[in-house]
Chains A and B, each alone.
Chain A
Amino acid sequence: MKPTDISAPSYFHKVVDCQWACPAHTPVPEYIRLISAGRYTDAYMVNWESNVFPGILGRTCDRPCEPACRRGRVEEEPVAICRLKRVAADNKDDVLARLTPIPETKNGKRVALIGAGPASLTVARDLAPLGYDVHVYDAEAKGGGFMWTQIPRFRLPESVIDEEVGYITNRGGVTTHYNTRIDSLKGLLAEGYDAVFVGCGAPRGRELDVPGRAEAAANIHLGIDWLASVSFEHTTSIGKRVIVLGGGNTAMDCCRSARRLGGESVTVVVRSGFEEMKASPWEKEDAMHEGIPILNFLVPKQVLHDAGKLTGMVFEKVKAEYDAKGRRQLVPSGEPDVTIPCDDVLVAIGQENSFPWIERDIGLEFDRWGLPKLNESTLQSTVPNVFFGGDAAFGPKNIIWAVAHGHDAAISIDKFCQGQDVADRPDPLVKMASQKMGIHEWSYDNDVSIDLRFKVPHADQAESLRSIKAEVELGYDRELAFKEAQRCLNCDVQTVFTTSLCIECDACVDICPTDSITFTDNAEEDALRVALKAPAINKHQDLYVADGLKTGRVMVKDEDVCLHCGLCAERCPTGAWDMQKFFLQTAKTTNGVTACASR
């Protein structure tokens, strides 16, 4: 194998599995260490820089970081990264003075953002500090978008949304136009904005198309519309027997909301198998914990009604069959149909993009799925000053993706407005620093905790089922948070090898608790992977190869299950191994601004 080029930022970035998996590339281990140190405000700021909504995401994120967490590969469960984020938000002091300052002097550029959801708000946060005059339009009465209308209050209190939206909209530079629906992009462009960002989400719920649907319409609701109506407190009750159709997180929010608004017997029905459901495992768990059964392999066949009054639904039993290419098909199992009586049905079988307000004659092209044609990295549409992000860009994803899009779009808009090449993307901010303090001392806590994942305390169930607003998860207290934070392996503290210093004494090989280091004759990757002290079977994880040793062998380190405990460096007599903290902040318009402010 060729020796590893550790000067490429992507190499060590990949080792920080959580940060690599996060669409916004939040420096996770960095903020977890700050939580351990009780520096909640600092931990919050590290998050805020990257993901803009730490308090919101700490309760609602889809957490792509957690399945990626290295801890999950050396013991049972990953670090509770998401809930630790909430700890930072819950325990922080006033952060207003630390937010990126908004200049009095404007740069003369006006930008319109359509929708006040996470994508648009991120763009606003990234552009206002540069002196842009930012205008946010939203049809609702307040900011937050789907974070406000779709996520029930028992998961995300209003105060948290208001606070974090306020950090963006209430500090100058951003003018909000709430209760204002944009009906024409052409019209908005005519107002002379230098750039327009479309962050309107995917606002249309997919319809159910079965016999009886139209007749019983009064008691059949589209999930996202119903959730919004619950959020606005227009809807305050539901029938005793409720069927929720769909297996995504919206379905989970629907069923749990229904449970709180009078639904005594709430049932979730999904077409696919339980395992293939789109909902996050923990959301399924929370729903089932509240006495909501999830029935799988049932396809809606008919809505039953009594002269227009909904009485129940009929489902066809199916089973999964796989063709030669491994594609799944649901075929009738031949078992008798299942009838479930009900008073209300909530349809949460997907969301679609919908752009009826974008004129088709302004040069903005759409693809065959009705999504705008975009440059994937710049998010620029075929109208050069119109950019997209969040669910509006590539279809429904989640908050953290919307934030990531927002950062990228802000860079594009800034470049566009300054007459620069939008395709020329700035580099991330990268720092490497040795953590060596003394012969055997490190400036990070290299002790590896063997505790298993700590459960987040929940409110009393009877109590929480009584109110749509009572938050179910109470969050870790400081003591639990410290213990959970200690489970983090500090994967950003990298093992860095300097060949010229190595005397090949094997000390690192002998001490490594996970047998990750081997000195051996070089070979092709596949051969090398099985020739190591412990086989490197996880091909998603790189081998770190260094050559130039006196014996002609190579040093091979399998990054897969390295605990970053620093023992290799501690036992190295010559300092050939060093523990260096890798810090990466993705490119943002505000990177330079922040640095100036803190100087």
Chain B
Amino acid sequence: MSYLKPALKHPGLPKNALGFTRRDYEGSISTLCAGCGHDSISAAIIQAVWELGIEPHRVAKVSGIGCSSKTPDYFLSSSHGFNSVHGRMPSVLTGANLANRDLIYLGVSGDGDSASIGIGQFAHLMRRGVNMSYIVENNGVYGLTKGQFSATSDKGSKAKKGAVNNDEAIDLVAMALQLGATYVGRSFSGDKDQLVPLIKGALAHQGVALIDCISPCVAFNNHEGSTKSYDYVREHNESVNKLDVILGRAPITAQYAPGDVTEVTQHDGSVLRLRKLHDDYDPTDRVAAMNYLARHKAMGEIVTGLLFVDPEPEDMHAGLGTVATPLNQLGDDILVPGSAALEKLNAALR
């Protein structure tokens, strides 16, 4: 088995604004099963970060446990990383973000890590509005333990050996919308044209962004009767819009008929241009989005695309009134103000 990807690359590979090629954003070679959807998501992350021209050292990638949570090893090898305890990525990431809000936070998790053991953490991170991109690599199955149903397996779907799932599925997108997430999307690992812009938009978003990415498990959940297989998702995928992320200086070239395009300017100046694929879909209306999703879920559709975005999000720091400077850049005199300051604080609390 190859354990190194050859360093030789295509001589005509384009470079981004920093002079890096896409290959400079890679990690070590994947040890996941061949054909795993997660590897496609890793490739999409690499593509998105490269296209945005982000310096790798400005990214912190944090994960929990599971197939999905192994993947940060396979991209952005020059970025900061923390592989935490099962289901505890949100609290570790929240802590990191509190200490240093200058970094771009990328949380990578799976359906087990986020919808089962870590569902409490997931919920609280969403409602706190931590400025981060939360990618759930959702394959609807416990792959590492050989194929049991996970909390996102659809009711009525079949396991590889034929067992039928009797439990209702947790829909992380619906939860995120309900819990106040300010950027919510769903995508499919097999559709990079949709996924890469969604990740770019999430990285540029200055609030909590969730991407629920259906990622087929080739080993245990890619069979007839599964609702997370390549074939099923391709057949039932209903994309509500097509996203282009436009950074400040990029020229606008394509022309669209009025009414076909919605443009959302985010707080950082980036423009999310959404080409409508479903006429009646408005991605800036949270309640409408929740209704739409519920309606179409009942019709057996997997709704994908950028489902909701709040262009003026508030993040956790705004609520807490924390200092803007990362703690590691503050001097001891500020970080440790002395016993007089402690006395004063204690007194205020009595």
Closest CB pairs A-B (n = 9): A573-B35, A440-B1, A448-B6, A510-B43, A534-B10, A505-B35, A573-B34, A573-B218, A514-B10
Question: Contact residues of B with A, CB < 8 Å?
Answer: 1-2, 4-13, 22-23, 29-30, 33-37, 39-40, 42-43, 189-190, 192, 216, 218-219, 222, 230-231, 234
Do B4 and A571 touch (CB < 8 A)?
no
A–B Cβ pairs within 8 angstroms, 21 of them:
A74-B9, A503-B222, A503-B231, A504-B190, A504-B230, A505-B230, A506-B40, A506-B189, A507-B39, A513-B7, A513-B9, A514-B10, A515-B10, A515-B13, A537-B12, A550-B234, A561-B10, A570-B1, A571-B39, A573-B35, A573-B218
A261–B252 CA distance with the chains assembled, in angstroms: 72
Q: Is A377 an interface residue (CB 8 A)?
A: no
A506–B215 CA distance with the chains assembled, in angstroms: 12
Do B43 and A506 touch (CB < 8 A)?
yes
Output the least CB separation between B5 and chain A (Å). 5
Which B residues touch A551, using CB under 8 A?
Answer: 234
A75–B11 CA distance with the chains assembled, in angstroms: 8
Do A513 and B5 touch (CB < 8 A)?
yes
Do B231 and A74 touch (CB < 8 A)?
no
A311–B35 CA distance with the chains assembled, in angstroms: 77
Do A450 and B12 touch (CB < 8 A)?
no
Do A503 and B35 touch (CB < 8 A)?
yes
Q: Which residue of A lies closest to B42 (CB)?
A: A510
Do B1 and A441 touch (CB < 8 A)?
yes
Give A421-463 interface residues, CB cut-off 8 Å to B.
439-441, 446-448, 450
Do B4 and A447 touch (CB < 8 A)?
yes
A450–B13 CA distance with the chains assembled, in angstroms: 18
Which B residues touch A563, using CB under 8 A?
Answer: 6, 8
Output the least CB separation between B75 and chain A (Å). 10
Known contacts being A504-B230, A505-B40, A511-B39, is A573 close to B33, with CB within 8 Å?
yes
Which A residues touch B219, using CB under 8 A?
Answer: 573
Output the least CB separation between A232 and chain B (Å). 49
Chain B interface mostly: loop
Contact of B13 among A534, A550, A565 (CB under 8 A): A534
Q: Is A466 an interface residue (CB 8 A)?
A: no
Output the least CB separation between A186 and chain B (Å). 59
Interface centre among A505, A535, A570 (most CB of B within 10 A): A505
Interface centre among B1, B2, B219 (most CB of A within 10 A): B2
Output the least CB separation between B77 and chain A (Å). 15
Q: Is A179 an interface residue (CB 8 A)?
A: no
Which B residues touch A513, using CB under 8 A?
Answer: 5-9, 23
Do A534 and B8 touch (CB < 8 A)?
no
A435–B223 CA distance with the chains assembled, in angstroms: 28
Q: Is A26 an interface residue (CB 8 A)?
A: no
Output the least CB separation between B293 and chain A (Å). 25
A563–B23 CA distance with the chains assembled, in angstroms: 15
Which A residues touch B222, using CB under 8 A?
Answer: 503
Do B8 and A505 touch (CB < 8 A)?
no
Extra pairs beyond A440-B1, A511-B30 (14, CB < 8 Å): A73-B11, A74-B8, A450-B7, A505-B216, A506-B43, A506-B190, A510-B43, A511-B5, A511-B39, A534-B10, A565-B6, A567-B5, A570-B2, A572-B35
Q: Is A566 an interface residue (CB 8 A)?
A: yes
Output the least CB separation between B196 and chain A (Å). 12
Do A450 and B34 touch (CB < 8 A)?
no
A505–B29 CA distance with the chains assembled, in angstroms: 17
A516–B33 CA distance with the chains assembled, in angstroms: 22
Q: Which residue of B lies closest to A558 (CB)?
A: B10
Do B35 and A571 touch (CB < 8 A)?
yes
Output the least CB separation between A546 and chain B (Å). 18
Q: Is A574 an interface residue (CB 8 A)?
A: yes
Do B8 and A574 touch (CB < 8 A)?
no
Do A572 and B34 touch (CB < 8 A)?
yes
Which A residues touch B231, using CB under 8 A?
Answer: 503, 550
Output the least CB separation between B314 and chain A (Å). 36
Interface centre among A441, A446, A507 (most CB of B within 10 A): A507
Do A503 and B230 touch (CB < 8 A)?
yes
Contact of B8 among A440, A448, A506, A571 (CB under 8 A): A448
Q: Which residue of A lies closest to B36 (CB)?
A: A507
Output the least CB separation between A551 and chain B (Å). 7
Do A505 and B11 touch (CB < 8 A)?
no
Q: Which residue of B lies closest to A449 (CB)?
A: B6
Contact mask for chain A residues 505-546; partner B; CB cutoff 8 A; 1 contact, 0 none: 111011101111000000000000000001101000000000
Contact of A447 among B2, B23, B216 (CB under 8 A): B2
Known contacts being A440-B1, A513-B8, is A571 close to B34, with CB within 8 Å?
yes
Output the least CB separation between B214 and chain A (Å). 13
Which A residues touch B34, using CB under 8 A?
Answer: 507, 570-573
A340–B175 CA distance with the chains assembled, in angstroms: 90
A450–B6 CA distance with the chains assembled, in angstroms: 8
A238–B231 CA distance with the chains assembled, in angstroms: 81
Do B2 and A567 touch (CB < 8 A)?
yes
Which A residues touch B216, using CB under 8 A?
Answer: 505
Known contacts being A450-B7, A503-B35, A534-B12, is A565 close to B2, with CB within 8 Å?
yes
Output the least CB separation between A175 and chain B (Å). 53
Do B35 and A507 touch (CB < 8 A)?
yes
Which B residues touch A535, using CB under 8 A?
Answer: 12
Interface centre among B6, B8, B10, B234 (most CB of A within 10 A): B10
Do B37 and A505 touch (CB < 8 A)?
yes
A132–B216 CA distance with the chains assembled, in angstroms: 66
A503–B36 CA distance with the chains assembled, in angstroms: 11
Which B residues touch A446, using CB under 8 A?
Answer: 2
Contact mask for chain A residues 484-517; partner B; CB cutoff 8 A; 1 contact, 0 none: 0000000000000000000111110111011110
Q: Which residue of B lies closest to A489 (CB)?
A: B8
Which B residues touch A573, using CB under 8 A?
Answer: 33-36, 218-219
A534–B9 CA distance with the chains assembled, in angstroms: 10
Interface centre among A441, A506, A514, A537 (most CB of B within 10 A): A506
Which A residues touch B10, using CB under 8 A?
Answer: 74, 514-516, 534, 561
Give A40-92 interface residues, CB cut-off 8 Å to B.
73-75
Contact of B9 among A441, A514, A571, A572 (CB under 8 A): A514
Which A residues touch B2, using CB under 8 A?
Answer: 440, 446-447, 565-567, 570
